[in-house]
Structure 1
């Protein structure tokens, strides 16, 4: 493995329980990144049209590559799958990669506005509000230089998984169109910055947004949505109990977010 030990340290476990986020730098090897980027670049340059950008932004860029071995290797052959197993205890097989590109505003002005704070698969604007497409854990692999927030970085809210679980349990109901409570909607989040090969593991309930890309090159990420084997049968419960899909954590109080 390229990126160091494939087991979580006690400090990493505590960080994940508190923040809902774990970052491993350089987990994917340079040759793994190059192979994936080469395929994506061909699709981006030759197959994509400007008209594709809105739909691709909601779902995936390079949809024809979703099950390619080179992209799935970013999860299965980097050690990411082992870290996921360490967090979840058990995970359903991952068979699809999602490619998310933030295109340069200079090249495609206004095509990708800033995304609102949200939790994936809940009250999505393009889905029926009663439909849930939730999972347990998001794995993100950086495939381009995202060392500057102006690159269109993902912004996440540390500790937000605990606040969201409380909101889902006490205030939210299936069919509501609000994706997050007002106090979280006002948050800007922490940008996930890094270099190609860096990997993010993020609890599904961590609210996040995505900025516009004001750099002259595309920002490219590969994402993998991972579910505990029992998640599909308890989606509503998992929204209200952040540790239902995870081994029992320490008792950590939910944070309070203020304007």
Structure 2
């Protein structure tokens, strides 16, 4: 929506006429006074000035202004949102550069120098071919320990809030509440934007990523002791007479993300998961995938789109076309903190049981290129809007 160098005018503020935007890793922006040394900020007491630096009070998330024209935006202050739990918005508009040539000229200022890009990790031809063939790819140690620890700290701080740690999501299920559950937490978004992960995704997708990216915190809690059954390798525990171990998930207990929320079943292109905890063995809450089955699932989605609405019960989004996957075809993805797993949106998957004594921590990002059109995706090829293609 805003690029570095874009000009912005506040709708009702006498502080300054025009501000120059700088896009930061994670998607927030700072807005500099072209004729001063500071950035726009909303202070903790609510007053506005242009004496800000680069902290939360001077950073903003950008949204379209509801019912406004294409240049009308609103700025959500990050500091108030993250530290006070308040949504403080400023109304603004994007100004064409030719209307303010002086403001659009760059001002050399060390305080507003761009944040260095994270180091690049280039995918090899073999890795790209493996992704195309299997529908998923695991990359080791992509996200640094500092970023992993910051995300864990934010999540665990929220878990420590007791009953206030949780709130219902749009489906009525529980999700983490507060700033960390808002999908705008800088500690969570930095896993993607301040690491090589974003650049890796852009090597697979056709063009720059859509800016509408949030991070889903996915926790998998341990099973109770009497449901564990055989413990993971290297673990021992006493068995009890009345144990009723929970069986592994069946071969039909898979899904693709978004299949129940819209008719096209194609809300995004690439699932990118960042591991925050060790899953070195099976049954630690691992992501389970069915390698090579993304093409068959994509064909089934196309058949479902073509089937008449009355072809099956209203509850069957597949309209009788849900594919049967090979028996024993699932693979549990083993990860360590900082590892990244990439999966095509059409790759069938599920979440494995957690028979370990530890919480499984993972964060998922659902990514698309800016040119991707979800409603048309099912009608097109499996690799349209990708940089990679069928072998």
Q: Secondary structure at the match of 1:151?
A: coil
Contact 2:289 2:333 in 1 (8 A): yes
What residue in structure 2 maps to residue 9 of structure 1?
124
The answer to whether 1:137 aligns with 2:254 is no
* Alpha-carbon distance in structure 1 between the residues aligned to 2:325 and 2:168: 27
* Alpha-carbon distance in structure 1 between the residues aligned to 2:360 and 2:196: 23
Judge which range, 235-244 or 69-78, deviates more.
235-244
Q: Taking structure 2 as the reference length, what is the TM-score of the superposition?
A: 0.55
Larger radius of gyration: 2
* Alpha-carbon distance in structure 2 between the residues aligned to 1:56 and 1:63: 18
Structure number with the bigger relative contact order (C-alpha 8 A, sep ≥ 6) is 1
What residue in structure 1 maps to residue 153 of structure 2?
38
User: Any unmatched runs of 5+ in structure 2?
Assistant: 1-115, 228-244
* Alpha-carbon distance in structure 1 between the residues aligned to 2:170 and 2:355: 21
Judge which range, 94-103 or 9-18, deviates more.
94-103
What residue in structure 2 maps to residue 255 of structure 1?
none
The answer to whether 1:189 aligns with 2:330 is yes
Contact 1:141 1:223 in 2 (8 A): yes
* Alpha-carbon distance in structure 2 between the residues aligned to 1:55 and 1:148: 33
Normalized per residue, the structure richer in helix is 1
Judge which range, 175-184 or 201-210, deviates more.
175-184
CA RMSD after TM alignment: 3.5
The answer to whether 1:76 aligns with 2:193 is yes
Q: Secondary structure at the match of 2:219?
A: strand
Contact 2:285 2:360 in 1 (8 A): yes
From 201, 206, 211, the counterpart of 1:89: 206
Q: How does 1:149-228 map to 2 (within 5 A)?
A: 149-171=282-304, 173=307, 176-178=316-318, 181-184=322-325, 189-228=330-369
What residue in structure 1 maps to residue 234 of structure 2?
none
The answer to whether 1:100 aligns with 2:218 is yes
User: Any unmatched runs of 5+ in structure 1?
Assistant: 252-259
Q: Secondary structure at the match of 1:34?
A: helix
CA deviations 1:151-186 (Å, max 9, x no partner) are 111101111211111112234557743497341285
CA pair 58-13 structure 1, distance change in 2 beyond 3 A: farther
CA deviations 1:45-78 (Å, max 9, x no partner) are 3245798699899574456312111110100111
What residue in structure 2 maps to residue 247 of structure 1?
387
* Alpha-carbon distance in structure 2 between the residues aligned to 1:166 and 1:47: 45
- Number of aligned positions between the proteins: 243
CA pair 40-50 structure 1, distance change in 2 beyond 3 A: closer
Q: Secondary structure at the match of 1:98?
A: strand
